[in-house]
Amino acid sequence: MIWLADFLPLAEWALRQQDLRHRYLFAGSGAEVMRSPGIACTLEAIITLAIYEAALGKGYIDGTTIGYEKPYPRSTGGNPKRADLAFKDRGKGKNWAYIEIKYYGSTGKQWVQHDIEKL
């Protein structure tokens, strides 16, 4: 799985980049930048998009080697169940790997159960 070697470094970069961005946005002054909340105030959609954009910037192709909000196989209907991200190695016969990015917060148990049922 070639994509797996890329995913963690891209995710780490994306999280650091978003953390610094949010620290800057929430800081009242330059002196407060590194003491502000950072990604503690970031929604999971922002993190997912940051990882997706980082992968696109490094050669992944939408719909071919990466998917954003990619429906699970055999998930039908007007609103099919989807994964946050999906990666696939290049070449015929390669399967998609589905990735859920979650912040469960204080109500984590019910959301974990929901994701287990979805998967």
Residue pLDDT, tens place only, 55-109: 999 999 999 999 999 988 887 777 788 889 999 998 888 999 999 887 666 665 6
Tell me how many domains the chain contains. 1
Domain that holds residue 37: 2-118
Residue 23: count other Cβ atoms within 10 Å of its Cβ: 19
In this structure, what token pair is assigned to residue 20? 């610094």
Which residue's entry shows tokens 């429906």?
Answer: 71
Residues 103 and 18: their CA atoms lie apart, in Å, by 15
Residue pLDDT, tens place only, 92-106: 889 999 998 876 666
